[in-house]
Chains A and B, each alone.
Chain A
Amino acid sequence: MKIVLSEGKSQADFLIKLFQHKSHKLIVINNNKQVCEYLTKVNDIPIYFGDSTKKYVLEEAGVKDADIFIALSHKDEENFVACKIAKEEFQVKRTVSIVSNPKDVDIFMKLGIDSALSSTYLVSKYIEKESLSNDLFELLNIDNNLVTLTKLTLTPASKQVGVQLKDLKLALAINISAILRNDNIIIPDGNTTLKANDILYIVSRTSHLEDLHGIFEPITKK
């Protein structure tokens, strides 16, 4: 994959280390000379010095036809313009932007940025979901929040203890994918019987999360 990282310091550094050794072609652009020097020094890769919101900078850096463009500036309007130029002028397949203002998540999506991420926004969603139940812990949202991986620990008081999976009558969009029991991973089938202290890893449609909370709600000790 051809990946472009625009701006950011520690975020860029983290992503460079993540992508560097996996046969990806990395293009890193930064408009701060010191940050460029720092990133070059610690990662031993060339960093393109320039303003990502300028067409000629993206052209010279070789952004054309990249698979993904990741904008990491703390200024939302800079990320917006950089992503727009990447997408419209250089046919980048997917644009991802960090946003500082959580309200910009929805705005960016409406204005044609493929994904917009805000740490504050994610924290608020996390708290929203966390407040539904203490026993459920969402680990991961995949594919623009369509799929969620949830972790759940069964207590001895759980009414699901002693029940076979096929009798749980879960919706098709909810799947118990793995069970961690005494440090062993079990890939369950319909005949697997649930035991106390089982840790369930559940893959579900994010839209079915409330159903999931509903099914397991009576098991909370409260």
Chain B
Amino acid sequence: MKKEQILIIGCGRLGSYIASELSMNGHDVTIIDQNEDAFRKLKENYAGYKSVGDANDVDILEEVGIKQAKMVIVTTNNDNTNIFIAQVANMIYFVEHVVVRLGDMKKGSLVEQTNIKTIYPFELSMKRFKELFDFNEGGFS
């Protein structure tokens, strides 16, 4: 894989994990979070940039290089923020790959008509549950 500039918004469990993985694979990663303490979740060998700031602000998005980013991954703990930033990345800065994590699947309809890609933890949990217990079999095995 070619070395790409990747911007990650929100350094929670998912954001910090993806950032660490991509960084270890040699990508040029920047992660931004409002809270500096959040960066403690990053693995020790994370070699990317860390930036403290409010990613709802377009000036801050530009400062952390959204214009050059090949991919933006939005994983803050606020769905409304995530939708807004994902739309800004997609429609204002024309970022090629935009991935957004949403807790509320119903809000996904707001990004469905675009090429923004979604991650729904709820859907993944359901899928796993159905793998563990197949409803169609009738009764638990």
A103 with B58: in contact, given A77-B80, A111-B91 (CB under 8 Å)?
Answer: yes
Give the residues in chain B near A104, CB-CB below 8 Å.
Answer: 58
Give the residues in chain A near B81, CB-CB below 8 Å.
Answer: 77
Closest beta carbon of chain A to B52's beta carbon, Å: 18
Give the residues in chain B near A85, CB-CB below 8 Å.
Answer: 107, 110
Closest beta carbon of chain B to A152's beta carbon, Å: 37
In the complex, are the beta carbons of B57 and A81 less than 8 A apart? no
Q: When each residue 39-83 of chain B gets 1 if its CB lies under 8 Å from chain A and 0 otherwise, what string results?
A: 000000000000000001111000000000000000000111101
A101 and B79 CA atoms in complex are apart in Å by 19
Q: Does B14 contact A (CB under 8 A)?
A: no
In the complex, are the beta carbons of A53 and B80 less than 8 A apart? yes
B101-127 at interface with A (beta carbon < 8 Å): 104, 106-107, 109-110
- Inter-chain contact count A-B, CB under 8 Å? 52
In the complex, are the beta carbons of B88 and A111 less than 8 A apart? yes
In the complex, are the beta carbons of B87 and A111 less than 8 A apart? yes
Q: When each residue 88-107 of chain A gets 1 if its CB lies under 8 Å from chain B and 0 otherwise, what string results?
A: 11000000000001011001
In the complex, are the beta carbons of B92 and A110 less than 8 A apart? yes
Q: Does B17 contact A (CB under 8 A)?
A: no
Q: Which residue of B lies closest to A82 (CB)?
A: B80
A77 and B59 CA atoms in complex are apart in Å by 15
Q: Does A54 contact B (CB under 8 A)?
A: yes
Taking a contact as CB atoms closer than 8 A, the residue among B56, B59, B92, B106 that contacts A76 in the complex is B56
Give the residues in chain B near A88, CB-CB below 8 Å.
Answer: 109-110
Q: Which residue of B lies closest to A56 (CB)?
A: B106
Closest beta carbon of chain A to B110's beta carbon, Å: 5
Taking a contact as CB atoms closer than 8 A, the residue among A54, A55, A80, A89 that contacts B84 in the complex is A80
In the complex, are the beta carbons of A81 and B110 less than 8 A apart? yes
In the complex, are the beta carbons of A81 and B88 less than 8 A apart? no
Give the residues in chain B near A107, CB-CB below 8 Å.
Answer: 58, 88, 92
A77 and B58 CA atoms in complex are apart in Å by 12
